Structure 1
Amino acid sequence: MSDLDELARRYLASWNERDPGRRRALVGELWTDDAGYVDPIVVADGRDAIDAAVAAAQRQFPGLVYRPAGPVDVHHHVARLPWALAPPGGPPVIIGLAVLVAGPDRLRRGYGFLDPVPVPTSDPGAEK
């Protein structure tokens, strides 16, 4: 298993971490200072914004968990991670693909692809 393969697995685990303090610590360990993440419904520049995007997704999909939907494919400094968002033990609600670009020891960029793309909801509980 490559270091990037392990980073990809930890990336997915960070999307499942419900405790805000532990999730923020995972985001801090995983992402570089100049990190960025984009998908069809969010653009997040920096660790704080990435953490806020994960928290918003958790509020939008309570009770659902992210799980691998295939092997992590790694070459050079890029990983492709297929995933599914589903109730524990249930069928996927969303199938996704994360393309992760690493720096020397952390993730620098993340690109998410979603099928279907969920309709954004207003998020009155958004963390500031």
Structure 2
Amino acid sequence: MSDLKELVDRYIQIWNTPDDSARRALVADVFTEDGAFVDPFMEVAGVDAINAGIGAVLGQFAGLALTLLGEVDAHHGIARFRWQIAPEGGESIVEGSDVAVAEEGKLKAVYGFIDKMPAA
């Protein structure tokens, strides 16, 4: 399942690409054309909508990076992994867990869960 782990690494890269056109190219490379991203705050489908949604989140957390927490656990085209958003070398601001479903070498859907979020 190393291919799926590599796909998750490329997915994480999307979240660390602030340039809109570069990020859109990555989204198109990593997700199926009708791929979806769903979490408690966003439900989008399609490359353009996924790119716009991630861009909006990046605007809220400018200067921070999304990184994996631990290893990717993957089998049968499904992966689960934990992540954090934090300043380099600093304490996490947001943490979560995602489940990704792959189809023919691309992500068909990513379902996100928030484990830690700053108070409003």
In which range does the TM-score fall when normalised by the shorter chain? over 0.9
Question: Equivalent residues in 2 for 1:11-50 (5 A)?
Answer: 11-50=11-50
* RMSD after superposition: 1.5
User: Which AA in structure 2 matches 1:100?
Assistant: A
Query: Taking structure 2 as the reference length, what is the TM-score of the superposition?
Result: 0.94
Q: Contact (CA 8 Å) 2:93, 2:117: kept in 1 or not?
A: no
Does 2:75 align with 1:75? yes
Point out 4+ residue stretches in structure 1 off by more than 2 angstroms: 115-120
Identical positions, percent: 44
Does 2:90 align with 1:90? yes
Query: Taking structure 1 as the reference length, what is the TM-score of the superposition?
Result: 0.88
Q: Provide Cα deviations, 1:64-120, integer angstroms capped at 9, x if missing partner.
A: 110111100001010112111001110101111111000011000000111234679
Structure 2's unaligned 5+ residue stretches are none
Q: Provide Cα deviations, 1:40-65, integer angstroms capped at 9, x if missing partner.
A: 00001111110011100101111111
Does 2:101 align with 1:106? no
Q: Contact (CA 8 Å) 2:93, 2:118: kept in 1 or not?
A: no
Count of residues in Structure 1 that have an aligned counterpart in Structure 2 = 120
SS in 2 for 1:101: strand
Q: In structure 2, do the counterparts of structure 1 residues 8 and 51 end up closer, same or farther at CA, with 3 Å as the change threshold?
A: same
2:102 and 2:117 map into 1 onto residues whose CA distance is 25
2:27 and 2:73 map into 1 onto residues whose CA distance is 21
User: Which AA in structure 2 matches 1:15?
Assistant: W
Whichever structure has more strand as a proportion of its residues is 2
Structure 1's unaligned 5+ residue stretches are 121-128
